[in-house]
């Protein structure tokens, strides 16, 4: 069972066209994640592998297995288990027409981290 001190960490990689400000993408992500009271875990960073993508890191609340599974239920087809023993972690890759939060999201990871 999760304690109040656990962290539910979400990392997203999303396309941010040059003509669209990153701040607009941040606002759209906050709106899409509103049911889980998101908080930024640092500023967005350009993804070093792909120039048109930014990495966004957020904490979701409450940090529980229930929240973890609610996010997973948004697109069960795109998520797969990560190889980290003891820490619930899943990775999402866009498949076909799948969308997670925003159409621009291409990849995500979700971890429930004990503190």
Bridge partners (DSSP) of residue 80 are 91
Res 4: pLDDT: 54
pTM score? 0.89
Q: Report how far Cα 76 is from the mean position of its chain's Cα atoms.
A: 14
Res 87: pLDDT: 77
Q: Where are the domains of the chain?
A: 7-107
Res 17: pLDDT: 77
Determine contact, residues 78/56, Cβ cutoff 8 Å: no
Res 3: pLDDT: 44
Q: What averages of pLDDT result for each successive group of 10 residues across the chain (115 residues)?
A: 75 86 92 97 92 94 94 90 79 90 95 88
State which CATH number among 1.10.720, 3.30.70, 1.20.1070, 3.30.420 fits the domain covering 7-107: 3.30.70
Indicate the helix (H) or strand (E) that contains 92: strand 89-93
Res 83: pLDDT: 67
- Half-sphere exposure (Cβ direction) of 65: Cα atoms closer than 13 Å: 5
Res 86: pLDDT: 72
Res 63: pLDDT: 95
Res 2: pLDDT: 47
């Amino acid at each position: 069972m999760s304690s109040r001190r656990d962290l539910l960490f979400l990392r997203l990689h999303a396309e941010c066209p040059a003509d669209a400000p990153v701040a607009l993408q941040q606002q759209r992500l906050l709106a899409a994640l509103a049911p889980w009271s998101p908080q930024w875990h640092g500023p967005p960073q350009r993804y070093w592998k792909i120039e048109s993508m930014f990495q966004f890191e957020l904490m979701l609340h409450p940090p529980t297995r229930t929240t973890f599974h609610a996010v997973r239920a948004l697109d069960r087809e795109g998520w797969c288990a990560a190889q980290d023993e003891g820490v619930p972690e899943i990775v999402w890759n866009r498949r076909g027409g799948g969308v997670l939060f925003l159409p621009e999201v291409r990849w995500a990871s979700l971890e429930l981290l004990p503190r």
